[in-house]
């Protein structure tokens, strides 16, 4: 009997330790549209031109920005995301994205920041039209002079003169 107790104890400790090594899924707590907006440094509608993931599991999405709120931005940006709460950007997908600036000047986002596929962002688009401060998506590129977004000029002028959301 003296041998069985330490074996049971060892087995219980082993199960507890193995259970703690499992990654925890991201759990988002819903917030109001105003809260998502206030937490963000900038809000954009953008189409994803490419997605890449590095060895540290950090994902970089290159975004062609068509609409912007809170401040002016270049028309093409990179957004980073990672960890168990990474936002799942899909190439050619169009999203409403709430971005924060990192200490090194990059833009980042996570799953729990209010991001939505553009076709499911109706309430957020209405809120932004009513309360958001419109910015300008100015020309500028992260990939060089050969990068071309069809209709970019039309989007630039639409942003400039307030015809912001389709």
Q: What kind and span of H or E run contains 64?
A: strand 59-69
Q: What is the pLDDT of residues 107-144, one digit of tens each?
A: 999 999 999 999 999 999 999 999 999 999 887 554 43
What are the structural domain ranges in the chain?
A: 33-160
* Position with higher pLDDT, 147 vs 51: 51
Q: How confident is the model at residue 72 (pLDDT cuts 50, 70, 90)?
A: very high
What value, to the nearest 5°, has the Cα angle with vertex 76 and ends 130 and 166?
35
The pLDDT assigned to 138 comes to 86
Which of residues 77 and 152 earns the better pLDDT score?
Answer: 77
Distance CA 70, CA 36 (A): 12
pLDDT of residue 8: 60
Tens-place pLDDT, residues 20-69: 444 556 889 999 999 999 999 999 999 999 999 998 889 999 999 999 99
Strands 107-108 and 76-81: parallel
Tokens of residue 88, six digits? 């799942």
pLDDT bucket at 10, cuts 50 / 70 / 90: low
Query: What pLDDT, on a 0 to 100 scale, did the predictor assign at position 71?
Result: 95
CATH class label, 33-160: mainly beta
| Chain mean pLDDT for the chain | 80
């Amino acid at each position: 009997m003296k041998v069985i107790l330490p074996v049971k104890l060892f087995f219980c400790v082993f199960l507890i330790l193995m259970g703690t090594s499992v990654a925890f899924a991201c759990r988002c707590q819903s917030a109001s549209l105003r809260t998502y907006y206030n937490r963000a440094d900038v809000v954009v509608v953008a189409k994803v031109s490419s997605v890449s993931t590095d060895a540290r599991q950090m994902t970089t999405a290159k975004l062609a920005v068509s609409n912007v709120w809170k401040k002016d931005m270049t028309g093409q940006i990179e957004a980073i995301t990672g960890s168990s709460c990474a936002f799942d950007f899909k190439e050619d997908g169009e999203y409403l994205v709430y971005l924060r600036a990192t200490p090194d000047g990059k833009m980042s986002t996570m799953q729990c920041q209010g991001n939505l596929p553009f076709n499911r962002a109706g309430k957020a688009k209405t809120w932004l039209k009513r309360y958001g401060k419109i910015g300008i998506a100015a020309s500028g590129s992260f990939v060089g002079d050969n990068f071309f977004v069809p209709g970019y000029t039309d989007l630039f002028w639409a942003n400039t003169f307030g015809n912001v959301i389709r």
